[in-house]
Amino acid sequence: MVSRYDAADMTERRPSPPLVIFSALLLLLALPGAAAEPDGPLRVRNLAPAALIYGLPSPQGPALRPGERTLALHVAHANNFTSGLTDRLEVSGDGSTTVASLAFRQGVSERWEWGAELPLVHHGGGFTDRFIDKFHGLFGFPDGGRDGSPRNQLRYRIVADGETLLDIETRRHGLGDVRLQGGYRLTATPQRSATLRAQVKLPTGDFDDLTGSGAADLALWAELMERDWLHRFGVTVTLMGGVTLPGQGDLLRSRQRDVVAVGHLGLAYPLWQRVVLRAQIDGHSELLDTGVRQLGGASLQGTLGGSIALPGRLQLDLALSEDLIVGSAPDVVFVVSLGRRW
């Protein structure tokens, strides 16, 4: 049975997400650096309640040169409103999820790099329901019954065969599953970069609070950045393809897929010298064999945004992501990243 905490107790026992984010920003500003052109795809991840706990990778961009380092703060805020029902399963997701990750990468030789990512996960009622309602209305998108439900509430619930596996109604936050990465450069020229990568997700989070899966996951993937294919239009293409091998976690392990495919396709266009517009599609295959897309179904997310090289040797990424397979990912995800290379 899921353990319960009230909001006051959670605040006393765990670090405040704004405090952690503010501390990370101070660390970024204090680091030395070297100016760099905006590089690499936007960091997009499926933050649906039944998907965010798995070790699905995001593209990282070209491998770093020996001695190069990057430190970045990635913040993604997702608005979830969906539900699914079968004879044996009941799923509802109404709330907001924010993941703030501090990610470090370092080039250790001409071909090898390593990295680590420390995520902090927060689930709450949020503040974006009114904005999402207006956004959907402006573009004529279906709202899935949002206008008939209370705004800014939290209810993440999973019931299988009459047993409640998850029931969250009060805000939760805590350390997520830490990720360790390694990369191997296959090739690197001004026109093309190819990299092989591996990632291990450690079970440092807690499934009861929906901050982790309760198991270690392994991911293996390849990335390509290609400037020749669409060079006449000034467009850079980014591709990623690979697999995630989930461990035996706490969510319906008997229905868990042994292998999950992951993929990415992105286009980048330099609007000005230090401003790059980006459009991309990120997705994964089915995580759980449930017949309910809201519970680990195959997902596609479409994202529009851009990268800006700022004074002070910083790079800022801003993006907005929508679910292309309704119910399998959050309605809307706001992505903000601030990083530095030195």
| Domains of the chain in sequence order | 7-341 (2.40.160.40)
pLDDT at 1 over 50: no
In this structure, the dihedral spanned by the alpha carbons of residues 306, 311, 314 and 320, taken in order and rounded to 10 degrees, is -20
Q: pLDDT at position 150, please?
A: 58
State how far the Cα of 152 lies from the Cα of 325, in Å rounded to an integer: 23
SS (H, E, C) the chain: CCCCCCHHHHHHHCCCHHHHHHHHHHHHHHCCCCCCCCCCCCCCCCCCCCCCCCCCCCCCCCCCCCCCEEEEEEEEEEEEEEEEECCCEEEEEEEEEEEEEEEEEEECCCCEEEEEEEEEEEEECCCCHHHHHHHHHHHCCCCCCHHHCCCCCCEEEEEECCEEEEEECCCEEEECCCEEEEEEEEEECCCEEEEEEEEEECCCCCHHHCCCCCCCEEEEEEEEEEEEEEHHHCEEEEEEEEEEECCCCCCCHHHECCCEEEEEEEEEEEEECCEEEEEEEEEECCCECCCCCCCCCCEEEEEEEEEEEECCCEEEEEEEEEECCCCCCCCEEEEEEEEEEC
Q: pLDDT at position 22, please?
A: 57
CB 178 within 8 A of CB 204: yes
Q: pLDDT at position 28, please?
A: 54
Question: Taking residues 175-181, what's their average pLDDT?
Answer: 98
Per-residue model confidence as pLDDT tens digits over 8-65:
344 344 555 555 555 655 555 555 544 445 578 999 999 998 899 999 999 999 999 9
Q: pLDDT at position 12, please?
A: 41
Q: pLDDT at position 40, please?
A: 82
pTM: 0.84
Among 96-105, 131-140, 218-227, 272-281, the range scoring the smallest mean pLDDT is: 131-140
State how far the Cα of 278 lies from the Cα of 318, in Å rounded to an integer: 10
Looking at per-residue confidence, does 129 or 223 come out higher? 223
**Residue 338: pLDDT band by 50, 70, 90 thresholds?**
very high
Q: pLDDT at position 15, please?
A: 52
Q: pLDDT at position 291, please?
A: 86
Q: How far is CA 115 from CA 31, 109, 166, 187, 308, in A?
A: 17, 13, 32, 19, 23
Question: Taking residues 125-132, what's their average pLDDT?
Answer: 63
**Residue 5: pLDDT band by 50, 70, 90 thresholds?**
very low
Q: Is the dihedral of CA 92, 304, 237, 74 positive or negative?
A: negative
pLDDT at 7 over 80: no
Q: Please return the burial class of 142, using the count of CB atoms within 10 Å of its CB with bins 0-12, 13-18 and 19+.
A: exposed
Per-residue model confidence as pLDDT tens digits over 277-335:
999 999 999 999 998 888 999 999 999 999 998 887 789 999 999 999 988 999 899 99
**Residue 177: pLDDT band by 50, 70, 90 thresholds?**
very high
Instruction: Report the share of the chain in percent with pLDDT over 90.
Output: 63
Query: 10 Å Cβ neighbour count for 182?
Result: 14
**Per-chain mean pLDDT for the chain:** 86
State which of 76-80, 243-247, 328-332 shows the largest mean pLDDT. Answer: 243-247
Per-residue model confidence as pLDDT tens digits over 259-269:
999 999 999 99
Q: pLDDT at position 155, please?
A: 87
State how far the Cα of 134 lies from the Cα of 273, in Å rounded to an integer: 34
State how far the Cα of 340 lies from the Cα of 312, in Å rounded to an integer: 9
pLDDT at 142 over 60: no
Looking at per-residue confidence, does 292 or 247 come out higher? 247
Residue 218's nearest CA partner among 173, 167, 187, 262 is 262
